[in-house]
């Protein structure tokens, strides 16, 4: 056991309380980490606070060089990082390779963006003797609270812009996937000044809550469930914190009336089953045009039946396990509730009997579902593809928007009128036409409505970690006409 990573060293590496980190494919214990306390979180905040002044005054070009050095270290430790991610999170190796490419790319992107942006100059009321500046300044200590489904990617979308902007960070990884984060901090960020990057392991309460309630942590950058986002909002309200919230989704996928069947079935299977359906933007509801419904459903079932289930570490695996028993049991409830109300399972619908251990569940295609069922209304976060048919495109749009969420939405079509209607009428932070779940370093990602209030990536992702200050500077010695006395 290594302890917490604070001030570039291991702290509390022999605690009384610890968490056993489990491999979801085998249920074996991989490692133990401290179940941190409020005191551990406070100690990390003190370190981050002490490091802030030096880091914010470090020239941005030097900060950029240090962040590029971190990505070089990631590349030097590539295979170990990929293996750790695979063992603790469960998804297949190619998906973890991709996750790590995103992490390295995000640090490189923000290293550059951070060194060319400081604010702007405004036209002044008296241009000859005045200067008006809009300064963009780091906040201080940023608390990064991260879920388990993309432990490093979702961390990098917070940590890279926060550091590039001159903030310091205290990271609280998920209690289920802390190992890759600890490895990253130790092996790839140890050249930054002590206190700039700190990691405290443990549960949401007390560690996460200690960060949220700490007066010296002005920003909480959180990705996770709606329920935790609501709890964080309550705790942070009295302190008027800057909250950056990326919450759950219930993303829809619309199959247009003009589609090509085979590629569309492949696109949907990928969009719904990537990371075993445990992506915040996983397709969770599908609306299929009536005229293609029969052929499309057959092609989809065939596609899903060809996928190979197994441990992520095996090269033959397409779909890995779910993260844990609690999540699989909730998923199963959604499937069973739908079946009890008349849904038909076309394939899947059970724990695969060939695996005695591991949190596997067969990818499951359902029809005869409607919005009264949990599987179409609550976040399911597992390998389910529930299909409904629609008659008119207006009906499809209405169904897509019939949710409190608004993270992403996908359309397969090449009809320009349908595409324009879709991206104008659907209320979601990301719209994918034909190519689901493809992100872009420069393209802001985040949710509308109850899917959150933040944007990560792009210029917007840097702005989230910069505070705005207006400077009005007059350098003439004379008194103004409008000053007292009148
Ligand atoms: P979660 O909310 O249970 O946990 C997320 C993190 O918050 C963990 O580190 C956890 O320990 C911490 N936490 C829990 N309770 C806390 C509290 N009271 N105070 C402070 N921190 C607390 O979510 P999860 O199960 O880890 O992740 C899955 C959820 O994340 C899904 O709802 C998914 O949609 C969402 N998600 C959203 C995005 C996005 O970008 N919008 C991306 C990935 C995942």
Helix residue spans in 323-383 (DSSP H): 325-340, 374-377
Instruction: Report CA(231)–ligand 1 centroid distance (Å).
Output: 11
Ligand 1 proximal residues by C-beta, below 6 Å = 145-149, 154, 172, 174-175, 203-205, 208-209, 212, 223-225, 228, 231-232, 246-249, 280, 379, 381, 407, 447, 451-452
Query: What count of other Cβ atoms lies within 10 Å of the Cβ of residue 238?
Result: 9
Report pLDDT for 432. 98
Alpha carbon nearest to ligand 1 atom 18, residue: 204
Alpha carbon nearest to ligand 1 atom 39, residue: 246
Domain with CATH 3.40.605.10 in the chain: 4-247+452-471
Rounded to the nearest 10 degrees, what angle do helices 153-164 and 60-76 cross at? 150
Per residue in 162-212, pLDDT tens? 999 999 999 999 999 999 999 999 999 999 999 999 999 999 999 999 999
Instruction: Report CA(4)–ligand 1 centroid distance (Å).
Output: 20
Backbone angles phi, psi at 470, to 5 degrees: -100, 130
Mean pLDDT of the chain: 97
The continuous run of DSSP H or E covering 209 comes out as helix 209-212
Instruction: Report CA(324)–ligand 1 centroid distance (Å).
Output: 14
- For 251-433, CATH gives 3.40.309.10
Three-state SS string over 253-317 comes to EEECCCCCHHHHHHHHHHHHHHHHHCCCCCEEEEEEEHHHHHHHHHHHHHHHHCCCECCCCCCCC
Residue 382 DSSP label:
S
Report pLDDT for 18. 96
Q: Which of 177, 224, 249 to mutate to test the pocket of ligand 1 (most atoms within 8 A of CB)?
A: 224
Label the pairing between strands 197-199 and 219-223.
Answer: unpaired
Alpha carbon nearest to ligand 1 atom 9, residue: 174
Alpha carbon nearest to ligand 1 atom 15, residue: 204
Report pLDDT for 215. 98
Instruction: Report CA(247)–ligand 1 centroid distance (Å).
Output: 7
384: closest CA among 275, 468, 224, 272? 272
The atom of ligand 1 lying closest to the CA of 323 is 25
- For 4-247+452-471, CATH gives 3.40.605.10
The atom of ligand 1 lying closest to the CA of 248 is 34
Q: Which of 227, 228, 404 to mutate to test the pocket of ligand 1 (most atoms within 8 A of CB)?
A: 228
Counts for the chain of helices (H) and strands (E), in that order: 15, 19
Structure-token match 């008027």, residue found: 240
Report pLDDT for 187. 98
How many angstroms separate the Cα of 392 from the Cα of each of 253, 270, 400, 441? 15, 26, 13, 35
Dmax over CA atoms of the chain, in Å, equals 89
Instruction: Report CA(148)–ligand 1 centroid distance (Å).
Output: 8
Q: What is the mean pLDDT of each run of 10 residues along the chain (486 residues)?
A: 95 90 98 97 98 98 98 98 98 98 98 95 97 98 98 98 98 98 98 98 98 98 98 98 98 98 98 98 98 98 98 98 98 98 98 97 98 98 98 98 98 98 98 97 98 97 98 96 95
Instruction: Report CA(227)–ligand 1 centroid distance (Å).
Output: 8
Report pLDDT for 15. 85
Residues labelled as active-site residues: 246, 280
Strand partners, 138: 466
Domain with CATH 3.40.309.10 in the chain: 251-433
Alpha carbon nearest to ligand 1 atom 35, residue: 224
Instruction: Report CA(74)–ligand 1 centroid distance (Å).
Output: 25
Alpha carbon nearest to ligand 1 atom 6, residue: 147
Report pLDDT for 365. 98
Q: Do residues 154 and 166 make contact, with C-beta atoms less than 8 angstroms apart?
A: no
């Amino acid at each position: 056991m290594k302890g917490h990573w604070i001030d570039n060293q291991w702290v509390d590496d022999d605690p009384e309380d610890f968490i056993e980190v489990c491999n979801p494919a085998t249920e074996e214990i991989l490692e133990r980490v401290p179940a941190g306390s409020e005191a551990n979180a406070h100690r990390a905040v003190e370190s981050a606070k002490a490091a802030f002044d030096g880091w914010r005054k470090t020239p941005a070009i030097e900060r950029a060089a240090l962040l590029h050095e971190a990505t070089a270290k990631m590349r030097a430790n590539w295979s170990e990082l990929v293996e750790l991610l695979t063992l603790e999170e469960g998804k297949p190796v190619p998906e973890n390779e991709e996750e790590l490419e995103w992490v390295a790319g995000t640090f490189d992107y923000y290293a550059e963006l951070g060194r060319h942006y400081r604010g702007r100059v405004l036209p002044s009321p008296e241009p000859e003797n005045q200067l008006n500046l809009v300064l963009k300044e780091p906040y201080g200590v940023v608390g990064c609270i991260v879920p388990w489904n993309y432990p490093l990617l979702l961390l990098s979308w917070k940590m890279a812009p926060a550091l590039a902007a001159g903030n310091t960070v205290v990271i609280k990884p998920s209690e289920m996937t802390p190992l890759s984060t600890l490895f990253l901090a130790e092996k790839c960020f140890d050249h930054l000044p002590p206190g700039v990057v700190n990691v405290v392991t443990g549960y949401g309460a007390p560690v996460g809550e200690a960060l949220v309630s700490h007066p010296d942590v002005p920003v909480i950058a959180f990705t996770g469930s709606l329920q935790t986002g609501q709890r964080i909002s309550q705790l942070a309200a009295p302190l008027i914190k800057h909250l950056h919230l990326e919450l759950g989704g219930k993303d829809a996928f619309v199959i247009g009336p003009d589609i090509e069947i085979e590629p569309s079935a492949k696109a949907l299977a990928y969009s719904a089953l990537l990371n075993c359906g445990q992506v915040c933007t996983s397709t969770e509801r599908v609306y299929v045009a009536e005229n293609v419904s029969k052929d499309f459903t057959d092609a989809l079932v065939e596609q899903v039946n060809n996928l190979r289930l197994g441990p992520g570490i095996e090269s033959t695996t397409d779909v890995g396990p779910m993260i844990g028993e609690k999540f699989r049991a909730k998923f199963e409830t959604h499937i069973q509730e739908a079946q009890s109300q008349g849904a038909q399972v076309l394939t899947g619908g059970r724990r695969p009997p060939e695996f005695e251990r591991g949190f596997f569940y067969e990818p499951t295609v359902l029809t005869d579902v409607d919005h009264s069922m949990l599987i179409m209304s609550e976040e399911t976060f597992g390998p389910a593809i529930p299909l409904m048919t629609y008659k008119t495109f207006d009906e499809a749009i209405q169904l897509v928007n019939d949710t409190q969420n608004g993270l992403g939405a996908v359309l397969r079509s090449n009809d320009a009128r349908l595409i324009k209607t879709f991206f104008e009428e659907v209320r979601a932070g990301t719209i994918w036409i034909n190519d689901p779940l493809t992100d872009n370093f420069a393209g802001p990602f985040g949710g509308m409505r109850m899917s959150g209030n933040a944007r990560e990536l792009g210029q917007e992702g840097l702005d989230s970690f910069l505070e705005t200050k207006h400077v009005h500077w007059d350098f003439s010695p004379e008194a103004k006409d409008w000053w007292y006395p009148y």
